[in-house]
Chains A and B, each alone.
Chain A
Amino acid sequence: MNVETIFFYLLGAVFVGSALMMVTRRNPVIAALYLILNFFCLAGIYLTLHAQFIAVIQILVYAGAIMVLFVFVIMLLNLSDERRLSEAISFKKIVAGGLSVALLLELLYIFVYRKTDLPTLNAERSIEIGTVESIGRHLFTKFLFPFEVTSILLLAAIVGAVVLAKRRLD
């Protein structure tokens, strides 16, 4: 086993573990912190796939911006008071859990037993495409149109967030 493999399995274990911790915590602040840990691990896993730019963006955008927004809102609303939250187990949740496990088993079956359908590693290309240069070139040529569409998306989101959450309009 080389260092890279050990590194990968360590990250993978923390990745899944922190996800589990996140959905089971009562206190939303702690859940948010576990989710941030999860995002950092994901950035590390991206590096093992040679997706350098995505890895950096993952930390900047997800861990740095989106999760800060979450934590900020949790603090603003003072939601860390656990007594307000009740988590009862109901019939619906058992059904939901059962269905999810079924879906998971199906995915596992497909990934493990039908691996001939999957593509094999293209090592050289994968190093090439993950760089800032490659991402930038494609983003402003072939993918220019979707890139422009995201500007409308963000504009709509800004307008919407202001309309819904600003304390006093006008």
Chain B
Amino acid sequence: METLVADIWRSTPLVLLTLVGLIALLVEGSGKGRAAAVYWISLVGTIASFVLSFLSLNTEEAAFNDMILQGGYAAFFGMIFTASAFGTLILSRSYLRRLHTERGEFYVLIVFAAIGMMLMASAIDLIILFLGIEVMSICLYVLVGFLRTKLTANESALKYFLLGAFTTGFLLYGIALIYGTVGSTSFRAISAAFPAVSNQPLFLLGAAMLVIAFSFKVAAVPFHMWAPDVYEGAPTPITAFMSTGTKAAAFAAFVGVFLGAFQIAGSKLSEVIALAAAASMIIGNVVAISQSNLKRMLAYSSIAHAGYMLSGISAANREGETGILFYLATYTLMNLGAFGVLSWVEQKDDTKLTFDDYAGFSAQQPFLAALLSIFLFSLAGIPPFAGFFGKYYVFLAAVKADLTWLAIIGVLTSVVSVYYYLRLVMMMYFQPGGATVEEPPAQMAFIAVTCAAILVVLFGIYPSLIVDLTKEFLNI
């Protein structure tokens, strides 16, 4: 009993967010027209959980019979997830009100999805990893198809669901085979047994199936085909959530298993991941050029970014891990910001999402155009914005791990990516036209996106602000 209480105290960010989600659900169920209350409760919950995560950054302790590892790594990711959920909540509110479909369940599901993500990042047992992935995915299936009278929303929800459930099968088979060879699902036991079992074909097959499942979740080539369609069909704030929080959660699990439980440096698994990284960078960036829909363009760009981060995993050294953490933190900010501006320009019926719809945007809305430009420059990896250092760290890690070819592909494809990001900037500044936002963005959303832009610049100038936080994580 005492250990149980101690464990709960150790996991306050997670427990608090769960309680807030349950309270929000009760409030929603208590009567009609409670959506606003649910929104505020969820918002406060994510902020509180963010603060608690920040406070527990310096300790790393296992809890609940070695099922989860709280603090440190989990706390760092907890900050990313709660920040992402916070931004999504704010963007959703104005988006849903514009469509007259505001419902409290939407906010509750965002909170539940964030809980699943936190479980994925804190798992040190494959069972929790599996359950975390499922909690997150089930909420996302619903959120993607939430606008249920819209056909594209139904279709993309079905696509996401069927492919997601299909990969769950592979994930489980992978877990089962690893369990069979190691005799346990705990990361500690797997880590201890790794030198002995790493050459057994049964174990390798299990690990390969985990690579397939995680590649699907991070949207890496060749398991990326769902991303553009689902990103396009989902409500724009949820697209932002999927490309930031979900991606970060999938990478948290990927890094946790492949760098925490396994020691893959220089192994076959590392080579496989390097190939997936290279393919994601090339295909993501090249296909993004030919997209005319901005949501699809950002979907392919997110595939390319998954590739950059995978090169950090493939490098399998401390630099790579730090690089991925830095990359994810900053990528969350810039992608949330970019989708935020997009959701303001977007009209009710999914229009105004092409490049041409942004002609002359800077003349009408100089400040919003400047914000979007900051995010795009950062996504392109142009210094001094934060996106530059993210790429710098992961490519440096690849070079240190003798994967210079991967770093070269990364740099070359980054140059390609500049073309399509800057195309939008050119459109806003140098093309005559009357693009504008129909109604001004809600104040909170506006402030949040502005803060994201400021942070993107700040972390670009002082990357050590984040890098110093990420020392000595993941001591399973």
B105 interface neighbour in A118, A142, A157, A159, Cβ under 8 Å: A159
Contacts of A149 in B (CB 8 A): 119, 128, 131-132, 135
CB distance from A77 to the nearest CB of B (A): 14
Contacts of B22 in A (CB 8 A): 155
A61 within 8 A of B: no
- Residues of B participating in the A interface, judged by any CB pair closer than 8 Å: 18, 21-22, 25, 32, 64-65, 67-68, 103, 105, 108-109, 112, 115-116, 119, 125, 127-128, 131-132, 134-135, 138-139, 141-142, 145-146, 148, 157, 180-181, 183, 200-202, 205
A150 within 8 A of B: yes
Q: A106-B205, A117-B202, A145-B64 are in contact. Are A159 and B25 (CB under 8 A)?
A: yes
Residue of chain A at shortest CB distance from B105: A163
| Structural contact, A145 and B138, CB atoms closer than 8 A | no
Residue of chain B at shortest CB distance from A161: B142
| Structural contact, B202 and A160, CB atoms closer than 8 A | no
A164 interface neighbour in B18, B135, B142, Cβ under 8 Å: B142
Secondary structure of the B contact surface, majority rule:
helix
Secondary structure of the A contact surface, majority rule:
helix
| Structural contact, B205 and A152, CB atoms closer than 8 A | no
Contacts of A153 in B (CB 8 A): 131, 134-135, 138
| Structural contact, B135 and A119, CB atoms closer than 8 A | no
CA distance A159 to B105 in the complex (A): 7
Shortest beta-carbon contacts, A-B, top 9 = A160-B142, A145-B64, A156-B112, A145-B67, A149-B131, A110-B201, A117-B200, A163-B105, A142-B65
Contacts of B64 in A (CB 8 A): 144-145
Would you list which residues of chain A between 102 and 121 have a CB under 8 Å from chain B? Answer: 106-107, 109-110, 114, 117-119
Tell me the count of chain A residues lying within 8 A, CB to CB, of chain B: 28
Contacts of B127 in A (CB 8 A): 143, 146
CA distance A118 to B141 in the complex (A): 37
Contacts of B105 in A (CB 8 A): 159-160, 162-163
| Structural contact, A163 and B131, CB atoms closer than 8 A | no
CA distance A156 to B128 in the complex (A): 17
| Structural contact, A145 and B109, CB atoms closer than 8 A | no
| Structural contact, B109 and A159, CB atoms closer than 8 A | yes
A170 within 8 A of B: yes
| Structural contact, A117 and B181, CB atoms closer than 8 A | yes
Residue of chain A at shortest CB distance from B29: A159
CB distance from A143 to the nearest CB of B (A): 7
Contacts of B135 in A (CB 8 A): 149, 152-153, 156
Residue of chain B at shortest CB distance from A169: B103
Q: List 10 other contacts, CB 8 Å, given A152-B18, A159-B112.
A: A110-B201, A114-B200, A141-B65, A142-B65, A145-B128, A149-B132, A162-B105, A163-B105, A163-B148, A164-B145
Residue of chain B at shortest CB distance from A142: B65
CA distance A11 to B60 in the complex (A): 49
Q: A106-B205, A170-B32 are in contact. Are A156 and B138 (CB under 8 A)?
A: yes
Residue of chain B at shortest CB distance from A157: B138
CB distance from A93 to the nearest CB of B (A): 15
Contacts of B202 in A (CB 8 A): 110, 114, 117-118
| Structural contact, B205 and A163, CB atoms closer than 8 A | no
CB distance from A114 to the nearest CB of B (A): 6
CA distance A114 to B103 in the complex (A): 55
- Most chain B CB within 10 A, of A106, A110, A142, A169, is at A110
CB distance from B130 to the nearest CB of A (A): 9
CA distance A145 to B11 in the complex (A): 12
CA distance A110 to B64 in the complex (A): 36
